[in-house]
Structures are given as structure tokens and as C-alpha cells.
Amino acid sequence: MRTRLTLTATLALAALGSAHAATTLTVFMGSQQRPEIFQPIFDRFEKQNPNVRIKIETGGATSEAQNQYLTTVLAAKDNTLDLFLIDVVRTATFAAAGWAEPLDAYLPSKDTYLKAFLPGPVAAASVNGKLYAMPAFTDAQFLYYRKDLLEKYKAKVPKTWDELAATAARIQKAEGGSLQGFNFQGAPIEGTVCNFLEMTWTGGGSVGDVNSPAAKQGLGFLVNAVKTKLAPAASAEMKTDDSRQQFQAGNVLFGLNWSYAWAHFQGNSPQPTRVKGDVGVAALPAFGKNASATCTGGWEWGLNAYSRNKAAAVKLLQFMSSNDVQREMAVKGAYLPVRKSLYNDKAVLAANPHFKSLYPIVTKARPRPVTPAYPRVSEIIRNNVSAAVAGSKSVDAALNDMKRDLEPLLK
């Protein structure tokens, strides 16, 4: 009898221990997403949910490197990752491969819940009406400029690319030294795809015809910026965070970059800043009388279809998209919120005064081609643009090769 009671007690204790066993959620993000901003938020979630532990796994400093890693892991149906941050251009690919779990069944009032979100990030996270990811933060590319230098030389913020080139050349000459007039991304990365598309769009062109006069004008501008020493000789190797660090060091007059750069420039950064208080942000210039245009960016949370912790993971996703967390990410990391109301929030605007004036730009940002074949589309564009910027291909040859290889993919 004593043995039976002992066994019963043992089983009861085991059941009790099992009920209180912690679930560990493994979250993957790239180093560029600044895990140090996310860690205190995850710590707060753990305090509110004592049975959940969150482990951050980092890897890859670019969208391409992160995607390569995730593709390898998920193709093997690996369940070690529960959640992962993916670039907004990856949704269709991850949905088609069956790697991202549709979230509709976990959000019974999905349409009502998502009404508070910007429509762009929601559209980017959806495929055929199903939500395959939770928007984490949105983004767009802007023109960053040195307010102090423009004031010093009584120059205006350029509205056209020609004005930018002329102003940059004049200030470079007067300042001397190693000041870059214009910094953009020309390495074979995703940011380079956006730079090319923005140049094409602001010339009145579209991705449907990459061999148009607008595309030739746009790519020609980037190539000529290097030839005339407006942009650095190593522009064909310039990655997004290289651009950010060089601007932050005080070496750039005009630079193309995403919203995250602002917090770095103001001193919320692992590297010292020499431009705090001297930075302005504006819409991208255009060619002639064409309209400004920018590329939709941002990241979203994917739920691993092979995860064993889906309920806890979805709870974390909803926490990360809550008003309070979105506000904290905007204030501390200059991440553009996915919730509309935060663009009028006092704390957000105190940390990021430019958010309110740039809100119309964010809402009108244009998407890159939406297709499961996007990884190949991106590769074709970025490799050809980088080759032209490096001078190993002429502008005409790069655009002809781009058109030939893109046509069967974008039909």
C-alpha cells in the first residue's frame, strides 16, 4: 500500500512539474535588427508569462544572408526555430514552400485586429487573402542629409537628382577632404534592388520594363555618381550598414537609408556619432517633374510551420505587435510602427520628429515584385546593378541582361 501511495505521489509530482515546465521559444533575427533593442522587450514578456523562456539566435548581417540560413534550416523541416524575422519580400516564397504557418486560425477576429495596422505591412504579410506573417515594423528609404552643411553653404534640400548632384559637388569642393557627396548601396544586396527601383520610379519608369529610358537614366545616375567622385569608388561594395556607419562618422552629405539609421545618428548606437542634431530627413528626389517614390521595406514575424510551440509563439507575436511594444521600438530603435495611431504619439514624435511629416511617404511606398520567384528576381537586379556601378558592365549591357533574365519570371 505504501508503495502504491509513493508511486501515486511521484506521478502527481511529475504531472505538476510537467504543468509548470517552461516552454523555450527560439527566435531568429539578424544582427542588423539590433537584438539589444528586443532583449528587454522579451524579458518583459517572460515576466508576464513565467512558463515561457525566449532564446534569441542571431545570424547574418544582410537580408540575403539571413534568408540563406533560414532556407537551409526550414527546407530540412527543422523545428528548432519557433519564430523568425523575414524581409517583407520573402512572404510569398515562404508561403509557397510551406515554411510559414498561416496565422488566420490563431486570430479569430483577424480583420478587426488588423484594422489598427497600416495596410501596406498587412498586404506584404498576406498571400491569397491568408496572413502568413505578423508585421513587426515597416520601413521605407529616405534621403538623409547634413543640415549643418546645407545651412553653412545656404543650400536647399534637393527636390531633384540633378539638384542633389550639383549641391553635393559644390559642397564637396568647398569642404575638401574625404566628404562623400552622395552615398548609396551598390553591393549585390537587397538595398541595391531598392535603390535601382527608386531611381527608375522617380524617372517615371516601372519594374515591368527595366530597359526603359527611365531605368537607363536612373542606373546611369548611380554609375556617373561614382565616375565623378560624388559617390565613393567602392560604391559597388557598399552595404546598408556601411552607408549608415559612414554617414554617422560625419563623412557623408547626402545618403540613402532606412528608418533605423536615425536612432544611430542621434547616439542610440554601439558606434560613436559625429552628426547628432545635424541630420535632416526628406523624401527622395526625382528626375524632372516626376513624383518622389520610395521602396516598401520592413520585417515581419514568421511562425515556423514545424514548430512545436505554436500557441506560445502566437502569444509572443501579438505582444510584439501591441501598442506599448511598438511605441518602445519606435522610441528606442527608430523603427517605423505598423500601428497607425503611433504616428501621432507624443513619445514617438519626440524621439523621431520626422515620422509625422514622412507618414504620407511611408503609406505610399511601392512594393518590389510580389512573386514566389522573388529571390531570383532580386539576384538578377542586384548583381547587374552592382556590376554596372563597379564598371565591369556598361549600363546598357546590365539593363539588357536584366531584361532578358527577368522577362520569364515577371510574366
Least confident segment among 26-30, 62-66, 76-80, 209-213: 62-66
C-alpha cell recorded at residue 101: 504557418
Return the CA Rg of the chain.
Answer: 23
Half-sphere exposure (Cβ direction) of 289: Cα atoms closer than 13 Å: 0
Residue written as grid cell 543640415? 147
Note the pLDDT of residue 20: 56
Over the chain, what is the mean pLDDT? 93
Gap between the Cα atoms of 199 and 219, Å rounded: 7
Q: Examine domains 23-139+297-363 and 142-294+371-407 and report if their fold is the same.
A: yes
Give the percent of the chain with pLDDT over 70: 95
Mean pLDDT of 332-344: 94
Assess contact for 382 and 398: CB atoms under 8 A. no
- Looking at residue 289, its pLDDT comes to 96
Amino acid at 315: K
How long, in residues, is the chain? 411
User: Of all residues in the chain, what percent carry a pLDDT higher than 90?
Assistant: 84
CB 127 within 8 A of CB 217: no
Mean pLDDT, range 329-336, rounded to an integer = 93
pLDDT single digits (tens) 11-46: 444 444 444 578 999 999 988 788 999 999 999 999
- Tell me the CATH number for domain 142-294+371-407: 3.40.190.10
- List the beta strands (DSSP E) in 79-233: 83-87, 126-127, 130-131, 134-140, 142-146, 180-183
> Is the per-residue pLDDT at 139 higher than 60?
yes
Residues facing residue 317 across a β-bridge: none
User: In angstroms, rounded to a whole number, what is the distance separating the alpha carbons of residues 38 and 40?
Assistant: 6
Rounded mean pLDDT, 59-86: 93
Write down the pLDDT at residue 5. Answer: 43
Report pLDDT for 10: 45
CATH fold of 23-139+297-363 reads D-Maltodextrin-Binding Protein; domain 2 (3.40.190)
52-58 vs 142-146, strand pairing mode: unpaired
Q: What are phi and psi for residue 279, nearest 5 degrees?
A: -110, 135
Strands, E assignment, 123-190 = 126-127, 130-131, 134-140, 142-146, 180-183
* pLDDT higher than 60, residue 251: yes
Q: b/e for 107-141, b at 16 or more Cβ within 10 A?
A: beeeeeebeebbebbbebbbbeeebbbbbbbbbbb
C-alpha–C-alpha distance, residues 156 and 138, integer Å: 29
pLDDT at 31: 83
Predicted local distance difference test score (pLDDT) of residue 15: 44
Cβ contact 155:224 at 8 Å = no
Q: How confident is the model at residue 154 (pLDDT cuts 50, 70, 90)?
A: very high
Mean pLDDT of 355-372: 88
The per-residue pLDDT for 13 is 43
Chain mean position to CA 2: 64
Question: What residues contact 189, with CB distance under 8 A and at least 6 apart?
Answer: 62, 63, 64, 239, 240, 382
How many angstroms separate the CA atoms of 327 and 405, rounded?
A: 42
**Cell numbers at residue 23, please?**
516552454
Strand pairing partners for 298? 138
Q: Tell me, what's the pLDDT at 114?
A: 95
Question: Domain boundaries in the chain?
Answer: 23-139+297-363, 142-294+371-407
Tell me the mean pLDDT in the region 99-120.
94
Average pLDDT over residues 48-66: 92
* Residue among 361, 342, 305, 370 nearest 132 (CA): 305
Tell me the three state secondary structure of residue 309.
coil
Between the alpha carbon of residue 112 and those of residues 101, 109, 117, 325, the distances in Å are 20, 6, 10, 19
**What is d(CA 70, CA 67) in angstroms, rounded to the nearest whole number?**
5
Model pLDDT for residues 179-228, shown as the tens digit of each residue:
999 999 999 999 999 999 999 999 999 998 999 999 999 999 999 999 99
Smallest CA-to-CA distance from 141 within 250, 248, 300, 262 is with 262
* Residue 108 binned pLDDT confidence (cut-offs 50, 70, 90): confident
Mapped onto helix, strand or coil, the DSSP state of residue 385 is: helix
